[in-house]
């Protein structure tokens, strides 16, 4: 009997536990984030999350909304843990929902 299926299940359980324990983060100035959303200047998080599976399979464990100097715009930074317990950071334009970049966290 192979232990591989057991380890895969344990990784999945660990991912679910991490998701349950790590709340989605709100930017330091949450009033500004809510204002941007009300004014329609950024997309709702739910809309951005719809595009995550097309970019990276796994479980979302953290979300940040920040102004990114590299892109000169507000971006959603979404952290995803995959089936091999690797964490990926995905960048989406907060106004358009355009996928910008994916990088592996170390």
pLDDT in tens, 70-98: 989 999 999 999 999 999 999 999 999 99
CA-based end-to-end distance of the chain: 33
Half-sphere CA count of 60, side-chain side, radius 13 A:
20
**34 — pLDDT class (breaks 50, 70, 90):** confident
Taking the C-alpha atoms of residue 28 and residue 18, their distance in angstroms, rounded to an integer, is 22
Average pLDDT over residues 3-10: 48
pLDDT tens for each residue of 36-73: 888 999 999 999 999 999 999 999 999 999 988 998 99
Q: Which domains occur in the chain, in start order? A: 4-104 (3.10.450.40)
Query: Does position 10 have pLDDT exceeding 70, yes or no?
Result: no
């Amino acid at each position: 009997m192979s232990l591989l299926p057991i380890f895969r299940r344990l990784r999945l359980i660990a991912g679910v536990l991490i998701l349950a324990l790590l709340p989605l983060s709100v930017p330091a100035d949450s009033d500004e984030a809510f204002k941007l959303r009300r004014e329609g200047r950024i997309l709702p998080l739910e809309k951005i999350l719809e595009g995550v599976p097309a970019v990276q399979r796994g479980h979302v464990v953290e979300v940040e909304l920040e102004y990114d100097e590299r892109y000169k715009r507000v971006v959603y930074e979404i952290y995803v843990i995959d089936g091999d317990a690797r964490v990926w950071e995905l960048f989406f334009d907060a106004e358009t929902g355009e996928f910008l970049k994916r990088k592996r966290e170390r």
